[in-house]
Amino acid sequence: MNQNIFIYIFYSLLLTGCTISKPVNYSFQDKKNTLHPQFLIYHHSGSTSKLYFQILTEDILYSRVNVSEKFSSKIKLKFVAYNESHKEIIDSGSFVISDKYLENKKIKIDTNFSFLFPMSKTGFMDLCVLDINRNREFYKTIRIDKLNDYNRQFFLIKDSSNQLLYDDFFFKGQSILIQSEYNNNRLFAKKINNSFPLSPPPFSKSYQPIFKSNNSVCNELNFNSQKLLSFTLPDEGFVFFQLDTLNNQGFTLFNFHEGYPNLIKDKHLIPPLRYLTTKEEFASLVSSSNSKLAVDQYWLSKASSKERARNLIRIYYSRVEFANKLFSCHLEGWKTDRGLISIIFGPPSYVTNNRNSETWIYGDENNMNSLKFIFENNMNPFSSNDFKLKRNYAYKNPWYRAVDSWRNGKVYLLK
């Protein structure tokens, strides 16, 4: 670990100063002043597991008292791990992570710690990250699964440069190393080529696809004596890793397109416009020989000026990229139900969650007239990040009001 990072551990059952009453943060627009930490759980022994933590230094505030001192940041990370019923706290703790630099600031801060959690049990971990210098907080709840040994928490995945893969998506031809303390005999890799449609409007009762994985080529991968195996990921599609090919359980790495979750090519800008366009408009965009020109002309036709068009483009596609980052599962994040709502309506005013659902509120939390969306965790063999909206015909008017705002050249932000 870098010598400039000092970690102080204080175990306490009362995590004061950083509550976990709202353990989900979705900020889709204020990228500059929002924390975007990443977490990864790995089960490395029978009685303990590890939590890996990473945060970009551009997300946190470095300050100094005078020019002779180094710039310094302080991050407080607090956690509570508890059992499935939420009735027993198994472990809890508090870390202060300090980083300093004089001239060259590193790109990210990485650390990890072990916490108590018994084998063959499931539960949850509430996490709170506080940027002390800026007084900004981030909350998250992670499910802990130390029962089902096929899930990704029993595998540590690194790229060819020995960097941890926190996300579930990969790039064309990327090589990875997979480590497991418990499943170190063999692993099967299936290439999946299924395509799934984007989410329908929130008032629609459209048919949802059934997941299938039996139309795939399967490769047997063997661990070496160091409990490692190497694998080169395919150029397209995604890969389903299994301990047993006779069931439909495992973990998945996805390959959506180059540069994902960002939109680095002009052709990537057209599909997310499907939420705003008529069938004829979308067909015209798709058939265009110049994607950038087609997209520019679309937004210019909706805005009253080039400046307003640029603002529409910036905000709309920043929401698409945030949805990709936060909500990816078997679908690109923008195609999911949470992606659909976040792009069109903007960030919710309040977000709460429990074991199997999230509730998004637009407006005052206790106001009956506020708009509320409930997303339920969907049984999905490829991802645990798949949440389906409880659709309701009452959403029709709010939906068309929001879409009309975009089509009239105005960013829609419901508060």
Statement: residue 238 has pLDDT above 60: yes
225 and 273 belong to one structural domain: no
pLDDT tens sequence across 155-180: 999 988 889 999 888 888 889 999 99
- Which of these three, 147, 171, 197, is where a domain ends? 147
State which residues form the domain around 280.
266-407
> Mean pLDDT, to the nearest integer, of 220-243?
89
229 and 114 belong to one structural domain: no
Statement: residue 194 has pLDDT above 90: no
pLDDT tens sequence across 360-410: 999 888 888 889 999 999 888 888 889 999 999 999 999 999 999 999 999
Structure confidence at residue 5 (pLDDT): 43
Q: How many structural domains does the chain have?
A: 3
242 and 363 belong to one structural domain: no
Structure confidence at residue 25 (pLDDT): 58
Residue 260 covered by a domain: no
- Which of these three, 202, 229, 255, is where a domain ends? 255
pLDDT tens sequence across 117-166: 999 999 999 999 999 999 998 888 889 999 999 999 999 999 888 899 99
> Mean pLDDT, to the nearest integer, of 302-330?
93
96 and 34 belong to one structural domain: yes
162 and 289 belong to one structural domain: no
Statement: residue 16 has pLDDT above 50: no
Identify the CATH number of the domain in which residue 119 sits: 2.60.40.10
Residue 284 covered by a domain: yes
157 and 143 belong to one structural domain: no
Residue 230 covered by a domain: yes
- Which of these three, 88, 116, 147, is where a domain ends? 147
201 and 283 belong to one structural domain: no
Statement: residue 338 has pLDDT above 90: yes
205 and 273 belong to one structural domain: no
66 and 17 belong to one structural domain: yes
48 and 143 belong to one structural domain: yes
State the residue for tokens 């506080």: 130
The pLDDT confidence band at residue 216, using thresholds 50, 70 and 90, is low
136 and 35 belong to one structural domain: yes
- What does the block give as tokens for 308? 């307003």
199 and 99 belong to one structural domain: no
